[in-house]
Amino acid sequence: MLLIRCPYCDESRPEIEFRHAGEAHIVRSDKMADLTPDEFERYFFLRDNRKGDVYERWRHIHGCGRFLNAVRNTVTDRFLMTYKAGEPRPALPDPQAQAAATEGNGQ
């Protein structure tokens, strides 16, 4: 079971308090009625499903109830960061710091 840091509760909490909610930073148009079929396809159906670091939404549904965003590596399952819904997409932590976080513990 993963630990996920909730930016609202300011604490790492067990995964079963959370629910995954798909890819983050997909903008819903303020003119939905005017979307072309292609635009709708991109908005609703197409997802990158990347291997590696992904931006995704979670909801602390059995905690504070808030939606939050996370950067998670889909290979290691490691959360690189979490931040509040509505905050801009952050730059990824630099690879060196990441490598250190991945390796540099224990011994």
Partner 1 sequence: MSGNAYQGGANRLPGKGRLTPAKTVRFSFDGRILTGLEGDTLASALIANGIHLMGRSFKYHRPRGVLSAGAEEPNALMQVSRDSARYQPNVRASVQEIFDGLRASSQNRYPSLACDVGAVNDALSPLFSAGFYYKTFMWPRTAWNKLYEPVIRRAAGLGESPKEADPDHYAQRYAHCDVLVVGGGLAGLSAALAAAESGASVIICDEQPEMGGALHFDTSIAVNGETGFDWAQKTAARLAFMDNVRVLTRTTAFGYYAQNFVGLTERVTDHLALPSPDQPRERLWQVRAKRVVLATGAIERHMVFPGNDRPGIMLASAARIFLNHYGVAIGAKVAVYTACDSAYEAAFDLQDAGVRIPVIVEARDRPGGTLLEEARTRGIEVLTRHAIASTKGRLRVSSIAVVPAGASGKGRDIEVDALIISAGWTPSVHLFSQSRGKVAWDAESGRFLPGVNAQDCVSIGACAGTDDPVALVEQAVEAGLDAANGAGSEMSGRPVIDIDHEGSDAGSWSAGLVGAVGAPESGKAFVDFQNDVTAKDIRLAVREGMHSIEHVKRFTTNGMATDQGKTSNMHGLAIAAETLGKPIPQVGLTTFRAPYTPVTFGTIVGQSRGVLFDPARKTPLHACLETNGAVFEDVGQWKRAWYFPRAGETMHAAVSRECRTVREVAGLFDASTLGKIEVVGPDAAAFLNLLYTNAWDKLEPGRCKYGIMLREDGFIYDDGVVGRLAADRFHVTTTTGGAPRVLHHMEDYLQTEFPHLDVWLTSITEQWAVIAVQGPQARDIIAPFVDGIDISDDAMPHMSVREGKICGVPTRLFRMSFTGERGFEINVPADYGQSVFEALWERAEAMDACLYGTEAMHVLRAEKGYIIVGQDTDGTVTPDDAGLSWAVAKKKPDFVGIAGLKRADLQRPDRKQLVGLKTKDPTLVLEEGAQIVADPNEKIPMTMIGHVTSSYWSENCGRSIAMAVVAGGRSRMGETLYVPMPDRTIEVEVTDTVFFDKQGERLNG
Partner 2 sequence: MDSPVGVERLHPLHGRRGGGAAVGLTPAQAAVRISLRAKPDAVSALSGGLGLDLPTRPKTAVVNADGTRSALWLGPDEWLVIDDGEHGGSADLVKALADTGVLHSAVDVSHRQTAIMVTGEAAAETLAAGCPQDLSLKAFPVNACSRTVLGKIEIVLWRMADDMFRVECWRSYSDYAFAFLSEAARDAKA
10 belongs to the binding site for partner 1 (CB under 8 A)? no
Query: Considering CB under 8 A, how many residues would be counted as binding partner 1?
Result: 33
20 belongs to the binding site for partner 1 (CB under 8 A)? no
- Please, are residues 22 and 63 in contact by the beta-carbon 8 Å criterion? no
The Cα–Cα gap between 22 and 28 comes to 14
Query: Considering CB under 8 A, how many residues would be counted as binding partner 2?
Result: 14
What count of other Cβ atoms lies within 10 Å of the Cβ of residue 15? 12
Rg of the chain on CA atoms, in Å: 16
Both tokens assigned to 11: 């604490």
9 belongs to the binding site for partner 2 (CB under 8 A)? yes
85 belongs to the binding site for partner 2 (CB under 8 A)? no
Among 38, 48, 95, 107, binds partner 1 (CB under 8 A): 107
Among 10, 86, 88, 95, binds partner 1 (CB under 8 A): 86
32 binds, among partner 2, partner 1, none (CB under 5 to 8 A by kind): partner 1
The Cα–Cα gap between 71 and 91 comes to 10
